[in-house]
């Protein structure tokens, strides 16, 4: 009697957990995964006063821990998180959540106080700390803890020298160190010089340029969200989605042959995954005329130079992509400056708006391109392979 109840229970349980796993596997196709995280981010930003309340936050973290532990019971998930290279990812998730919570908790408190006309948390704060004992003790403890953690880490998790590189036996998938997985993910969508050089430099230069673009003094020296919703949301998007989520995607969802696998799916290097990537030029010159079936417009990429040879064939071939991109980079900002960014444009002026748009456009072309790749197998807007211009 008891045993049968037990087994029924177990069966139901495994049935449920299998269903959940299947659902999660199905949801981890990148278009869903990234959309869901974006939606979660938006919800998080809208409800920052609710989820940051200590009780809610603790409940959420407990739920997350439960989820993580339950996931770890899965063989494939367990393999991923216990790989020594991936230990920092778990830490990264935890710490990212922690610092985000700290910031938004303070912002929520401050915003509530501002509404009631009360002083900010920071206003009464005395920043001065005694070097001895306060600072020295803190540093000492931090130092000891770090040392202990590093020593234990180094002993427990091996980082062996592997055999010399061998072209016949390369790791599959070949993954970058965890902190570069976001960049490696970008390489799937962009030419190396864009994903590996231009975008990282833009991130660094952009972060440096921020204080010069955004001279709004509100939020300086105190936490707030209500006073700077646009700026903080943009930053959170760039950081959370374009960096953290991409690292998580690269760690948990990228498997052999750089194919997408669900977190609970076995990494089968022979799983067929056929994608046929197409360029905008193919869409315009081949697919569209094919579909329209006009007499006068035969499908086929242009291969002849025009204008007496002054306009090489690739310029004609890539014209649709060039038009699209110039619209995005040069026309869209004008439209935006006249409409939804009107206020910003008036606040920051022409030059700073140009820099602002330069950074924004490159930040947003990444998700745009990713979505187009996932949904329509778009390869490149403009592909001039001869000159390494593949955008």
Partner 1 sequence: MATKALVTKVWIDPGCIVCDACETTCPEVFEVQHDNETCIIRPEALDAEFNKPLTESIIEAAEECPVDVIKFDTVEVDAADVPAAPKPAAAPAAGAADASEPATAAAKASPEKPASKVAAPPKPKVVDPAIQALLAATTVRGGHAVINQGIQDLPDSIKHMSKLSPDKLPPDARHQKVLQKSSPKKDETSRRDFVVLGALTVGWGSVAAAGGVSTLAFARFMAPNVLEVEDPKVRCGSLAKYLAMAPGEVNEDYKPVKPSGFWIVREEERIAAVSIICTHLGCIPSWLPNDRKFKCPCHGSGFKPNGVNFEGPAPRPLERFKIYLDGDDVIVDRSKKFLAMGPNDTAKWNDPEASIPV
Q: Quick one: how far is CA 163 from the chain centroid?
A: 33
- Our finding on whether 173 is near partner 1 (CB under 8 A) is yes
Question: Which residues, at least 6 apart from 175, have a Cβ–Cβ distance to it below 8 Å?
Answer: 85, 181, 184, 250, 251, 254
Contact present, 286 and 299 (Cβ < 8 Å): yes
Among 158, 215, 270, 304, binds partner 1 (CB under 8 A): 270
In the complex with partner 1, the residue whose CB is nearer, 268 or 347, is 268
> CB of residue 276 vs partner 1: minimum separation in angstroms?
6
Residues in 287-316 that interact with partner 1 by CB under 8 A: 301
CA 102 to chain centre: 21
Q: Which is nearer to partner 1, 1 or 274 (CB)?
A: 274
> How many residues interact with partner 1 (rule CB under 8 A)?
36
Contacts of 4 (CB under 8 A, 6+ apart): none
CA nearest neighbour of 78 among 266, 244, 260: 266
DSSP label at 196?
I
- Of residues 272, 308, 309, 349, which one binds partner 1 by CB under 8 A? 272
Residue number with CB closer to partner 1 (348 or 383):
383
* Whole-angstrom Cα Rg for the chain: 26
Instruction: Report in angstroms how near the CB of residue 366 gets to partner 1 at its nearest.
Output: 13
Integer angstrom CA distances of residue 326 from 249, 272, 333, 391: 30, 37, 11, 12
Going by C-alpha positions, the residue among 205, 223, 239, 252 that lies closest to residue 52 is 223
Asked if 350 and 333 touch (Cβ cutoff 8 Å), the reply is no
Minimal distance, residue 198 CB to partner 1, in Å = 14
Cβ(322)–Cβ(382) below 8 Å: yes
* Position 162 contacts partner 1 (CB under 8 A): no
Query: Is 385 among the residues that bind partner 1 (CB under 8 A)?
Result: yes
By the rule CB under 8 A, 256 interacts with partner 1: yes
Q: Least distance to partner 1 from the beta carbon of 243, Å?
A: 18
Q: Is 170 in the site for partner 1 (CB under 8 A)?
A: yes
One of 269, 334, 346, 376 touching partner 1 (CB under 8 A):
269
> Contact with partner 1 (CB under 8 A): which of 27, 87, 188, 202?
188
Here's the x/- map for partner 1, 361-380, by CB under 8 A: it reads as: ----------------x-xx
* Binding range to partner 1, per CB under 8 A, among 152-160, 191-199, 203-211, 323-331: 191-199
Q: Is 275 in the site for partner 1 (CB under 8 A)?
A: yes
Beta carbons within 10 angstroms of residue 383's beta carbon: 19
Indicate the SS3 state at residue 255: coil
Q: What is the DSSP letter of 225?
A: S
Question: Which residue of 3, 4, 166, 339 would you call a contact of partner 1, by CB under 8 A?
Answer: 166
> Does 174 help bind partner 1 (rule: CB under 8 A)?
yes
Residue number, 120 or 389, with CB nearest to partner 1: 389
CB of 385 to partner 1, least distance (A): 5
Segment interacting with partner 1 (CB under 8 A) among 74-82, 108-116, 252-260, 318-326: 252-260
Burial of 367 per CB tally in 10 Å (0-12, 13-18, 19+): middle
Binding segment for partner 1 (CB under 8 A), chosen from 120-128, 169-177, 211-219, 229-237, is 169-177
- Backbone torsion region of residue 219, taken as left when φ is above 0, otherwise alpha when ψ lies between -120 and 50, otherwise beta: left
Q: Which is nearer to partner 1, 210 or 319 (CB)?
A: 319
Q: What distance in Å separates the CA atoms of residue 232 and residue 110, rounded to the nearest whole number?
A: 15
String of DSSP letters for 63-91: HHHHHHHHHHTSHHHHHHHHSGGGHHHHH
Residues that bind partner 1 (CB under 8 A): 166-168, 170-174, 184, 187-192, 196, 256-259, 269-270, 272, 274-277, 301, 377, 379-380, 383, 385-386, 388, 390
């Amino acid at each position: 009697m008891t045993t049968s109840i037990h087994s029924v229970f177990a069966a139901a349980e495994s049935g449920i957990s299998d269903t959940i796993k299947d659902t999660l596997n199905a949801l981890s196709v990148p278009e869903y995964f990234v959309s869901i995280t974006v939606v979660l981010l938006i919800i998080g930003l809208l409800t920052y006063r609710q989820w940051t309340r200590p009780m809610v936050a603790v409940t959420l973290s407990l739920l997350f821990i439960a989820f993580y532990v339950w996931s770890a019971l899965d063989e494939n998930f367990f393999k991923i998180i216990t790989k020594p290279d991936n230990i920092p990812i778990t830490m990264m998730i935890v710490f990212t959540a922690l610092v985000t919570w700290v910031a938004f908790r303070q912002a929520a408190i401050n915003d509530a106080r501002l509404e009631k006309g009360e002083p900010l948390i920071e206003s009464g704060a005395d920043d001065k700390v005694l070097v001895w004992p306060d600072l020295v003790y803190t540093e000492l403890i931090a130092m000891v803890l770090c040392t202990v953690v590093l020593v234990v880490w180094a002993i427990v998790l091996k980082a062996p020298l592997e055999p010399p590189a061998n072209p016949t036996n390369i790791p599959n998938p070949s993954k970058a160190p965890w902190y570069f997985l976001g960049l490696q993910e970008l390489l799937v969508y962009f030419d190396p010089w864009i994903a590996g050089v231009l975008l990282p430099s833009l991130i660094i230069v952009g972060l440096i340029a921020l204080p010069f673009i955004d001279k709004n003094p509100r939020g300086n020296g105190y936490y707030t969200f209500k006073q700077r919703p646009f700026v903080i949301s943009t930053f959170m998007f760039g950081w959370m989605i374009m960096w953290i989520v991409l690292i998580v995607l690269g760690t948990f969802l990228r498997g052999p042959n750089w194919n997408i696998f669900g977190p609970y799916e076995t990494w089968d290097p022979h799983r067929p995954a056929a994608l046929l990537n197409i360029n905008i030029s193919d869409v315009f010159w081949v697919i569209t005329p094919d579909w329209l079936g006009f007499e006068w417009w035969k499908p086929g990429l242009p291969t002849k130079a025009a204008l007496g040879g002054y306009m090489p064939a690739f310029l004609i071939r890539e014209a649709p992509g060039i038009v699209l991109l110039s619209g995005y980079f040069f026309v869209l900002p004008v439209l935006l400056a006249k409409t939804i960014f009107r206020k910003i444009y008036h606040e920051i002026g022409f030059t700073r708006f140009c820099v602002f748009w330069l950074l924004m456009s490159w930040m947003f072309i990444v998700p745009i391109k990713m979505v187009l790749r996932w949904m329509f197998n778009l390869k490149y807007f403009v592909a001039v392979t001869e000159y390494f211009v593949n955008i």
